[in-house]
Structure 1
């Protein structure tokens, strides 16, 4: 089984992917590690070609759960995956999670692979705003994969309900 979990900043991708990975005994891949690598504590971005090469290497290992935001270099994962899960909690909840995560990272309660400074906090809110303006474009990207797409939205009754959305 190959599962691609997608969502915008603070949608719950990493938490959900790690849970499923443990339950299903599948390789967990945080896609930020495909985009960036560290050298002496400095994050260096790989080229799109390098990212695609790493994705092919990951796929060659067999079953996996990968999570990340949408990037053009990840597009091939849409075809590779047996299931695509789009996490789409409400905007207000993501904004609260961004701030909560930032505070936890600054005080050292939560680890992160980047410097949790004010600029990163601003970037996360900026990326969230940008995403909200690009939803229609994402719908178009998903269109060829509707047969394996599951969109997860919050449900007040159980906090996470699976519902298949057809555009």
Structure 2
């Protein structure tokens, strides 16, 4: 099984990937970790990997027999969409995403939750802007995945998530 989970910042991609990984016994990977490396010497707390290094990591992953990957749907990872058996599009409401962004940022500022960047006010503003940009279609994610419509599953809420997990459990029985 090869599953690619996409959606806006704070749509629940990592949470769903972890849950599916545990349920299906398939490793998952956040593609953010392929794009960025922790680097405490920078103001943001991370730096971008070289494109060649990022691509080598990515292509070695998608050659594997099974995987679950999650990302905002960056175009540099288009081959993940092609290789996946299922594409899960998380279409969570803006209100919920923005609440999660603020909640996560507070937890990160307090040191309760780890992150790959410095949780400064500037990062909070960026995440809220990315959430808005997603709603405006600035990333063209929905256009790009429309090519793969036959393998796209749209999830909009917790009930959809639970139903999808249940179907996955039933498919492995």
Report which of the two has the higher share of helix: 2
Can you give the 5+ residue segments of structure 2 that lack an aligned partner in the other structure? 165-173
Match of 2:104 in 1: 101
What's the Cα RMSD here? 2.1
- Cα 1:90–1:135, aligned 2, differ >3 Å: closer, same or farther? farther
Moved more, 40-49 or 70-79: 40-49
Q: 2 CA distance for matches of 1:136 and 1:29?
A: 21
Moved more, 134-143 or 62-71: 134-143
Runs of 4+ in 1 over 3 A off after TM superposition: 39-42, 47-50, 158-163
Return the structure number with greater strand share. 1
Q: CA deviation at 1:161?
A: 6.4
| Count of residues paired in the alignment | 161
Q: 1:44 to 1:88 in 2, by over 3 A?
A: same
Hey, what's the Cα distance between the residues in 1 that align with 2:117 and 2:99?
19
1:140 aligns with 2:143: yes
Which one scores higher on RCO, CA 8 angstroms, separation ≥ 6?
Answer: 2
Does the CA contact (< 8 Å) of 1:151 and 1:162 recur in 2? no
Match of 2:71 among 56, 64, 68: 68
Residue equivalent to 1:127 = 130
SS state at 1:66 partner: strand
- Give 2:21's aligned residue: 21
Distance 1:136 1:47, change over 3 A: closer
Q: Residue 78 in 1 paired to residue 81 in 2?
A: yes
Q: State the TM-score, normalizing by the size of structure 1.
A: 0.87
Unaligned runs of 5+ in 1: none
Distance in 2 (alpha carbons) for counterparts of 1:46 and 1:162: 37
